[in-house]
Amino acid sequence: MSITQIDANGRVLLPLGIRYQLDLNDGDELAVDELGDGTIILKKIDRRLRFQEWLDKERKNK
């Protein structure tokens, strides 16, 4: 387990090893969820999947 801090702007620095392991890069989006017991979950969002979901929605609306 690593320990990190929240800066004055609310940003959290993720440890380098985790960023490498999950292939996280500048601008990547993370979904944030709180479990109610103080546990916070961050999940990397796959941009290709989000684009495909948008495309499917647009096709359905036509």
11 found inside a domain: no
Give tens-digit pLDDT for 37-54: 999 999 888 877 777 777
Q: Which domain holds residue 50?
A: 16-61
**Average pLDDT in the 30-34 region?**
92
Question: Which residue's structure tokens are 């036509």?
Answer: 62
pTM for this predicted structure: 0.63
Looking at residue 26, its pLDDT comes to 92
Looking at residue 18, its pLDDT comes to 92
4 found inside a domain: no
CA separation (Å) from 57 to 30, 43, 52, 62?
22, 23, 9, 9
47 found inside a domain: yes
Looking at residue 60, its pLDDT comes to 84
